[in-house]
Amino acid sequence: KAGVTQTPRYLIKTRGQQVTLSCSPISGHRSVSWYQQTPGQGLQFLFEYFSETQRNKGNFPGRFSGRQFSNSRSEMNVSTLELGDSALYLCASSLNTGVGYGYTFGSGTRLTVV
Amino acid sequence: GENVEQHPSTLSVQEGDSAVIKCTYSDSASNYFPWYKQELGKRPQLIIDIRSNVGEKKDQRIAVTLNKTAKHFSLHITETQPEDSAVYFCAEGDSWGKLQFGAGTQVVVTP
Check residue B28 and report its DSSP letter.
T
What's the pLDDT at B45?
A: 94
Q: Residue A53 — pLDDT band, cuts 50, 70, 90?
A: very high
A vs B: CB pairs below 8 A:
74
- Across the interface, whether the CB atoms of A43 and B101 are under 8 A apart is answered yes
Task: Tell me whether A39 touches chain B (CB under 8 Å).
Answer: no
* Cis check: omega of the bond before B44, within 30 degrees of 0: no
Of residues B95, B88, B81, B84, the one with CA closest to residue B30: B95
Show residues of chain B in contact with A59, CB under 8 Å.
Answer: 2
Task: Tell me whether A55 touches chain B (CB under 8 Å).
Answer: yes
- Percent helix, strand and coil across chain A, each rounded to 5? 5, 55, 45
- Across the interface, whether the CB atoms of B43 and A108 are under 8 A apart is answered yes
Give the CA-trace dihedral at A77, A83, A88, A94, to 10 degrees: -30
Cα angle B14, B43, A54 (rounded to 5 degrees) comes to: 135
d(CA B15, nearest CA chain A) in Å: 26
Tens place of pLDDT per residue across chain B (111 aa)? 457 999 999 999 999 999 999 999 998 888 889 999 999 989 999 999 998 878 899 999 999 999 999 999 999 999 999 999 999 999 998 766 678 899 999 999 999
Q: Is the pLDDT of residue A59 over 50?
A: yes
- Across the interface, whether the CB atoms of A48 and B45 are under 8 A apart is answered no
What residues pair up with A7 in beta bridges, in sequence order?
Answer: A22
